[in-house]
Amino acid sequence: MIVIVMGVSGSGKSTIGARLAGRLGFPFLDADDFHPPGNVAKMSAGIPLGDEDRRPWLELVNSKLKQHKEAVLACSALKQSYREILVRDVADPVLVFLKGGIGLIRSRLEGRQHRYMPATLLESQFDALEPPTRAIEIDVERSVEDCVAQIEARLQAR
């Protein structure tokens, strides 16, 4: 099973994804680790990425996923077209959507330093977000441990 933990920046993808991977005994991958330097430069400058920036990155992440039978991936995966690239030819993908209001997410982003994603890009992430229709949906207002426990229970029930 490949679990893709998705949502806007600040929703807790990396924290929840890493904790979930540890509980499941799966490798953890963070899609941010695979951004090319041009994408990092754009985001660091406060410029939102476009589809043309994301496509090669998503294809690279897809190739990394196909190297695993089991893994947890943290990735924004904001649009359906992005998710289609991510799961192409991936066996048994499960999508987990970390959902929270813009006020909560903004307060989290302002309280931490992301590697290169400034809080000013949050609006563009919410604008681009196409909530998935088939996913495990988790309200990130809850604690990290509660979110992980909910995801784990839902994965076991499927």
Secondary structure E strands in the chain: 2-6, 28-30, 71-74, 93-99, 136-139
Domain extents for the chain? 2-157
> Is there a contact between 117 and 43 (Cβ–Cβ < 8 Å)?
yes
CATH of 2-157, one of 3.40.140.10, 1.10.510.10, 3.40.50.300, 3.40.228.10: 3.40.50.300
* pLDDT, position 113: 59
- Which tens digit of pLDDT belongs to each residue from 95-140? 999 999 999 988 887 766 555 556 667 788 898 899 999 999 999 9
- Which tens digit of pLDDT belongs to each residue from 76-91? 999 999 999 999 999 8
pLDDT > 90: percent of the chain: 74
- What is the Cα–Cα distance from 52 to 57, expressed in whole angstroms? 9
Q: At what angle do helices 80-87 and 51-65 cross, to 10 degrees?
A: 30
Q: Write the CA distances from 55 to 17, 62, 77, 107, integer angstroms.
A: 22, 10, 11, 29
The yes-or-no verdict on residue 53 having pLDDT over 60 is: yes
* pLDDT, position 47: 86
Query: For residue 88, what are the contacts with CB-CB under 8 A and spacing of at least 6?
Result: 62
Instruction: Decide: helix, strand or coil at residue 77.
Output: coil
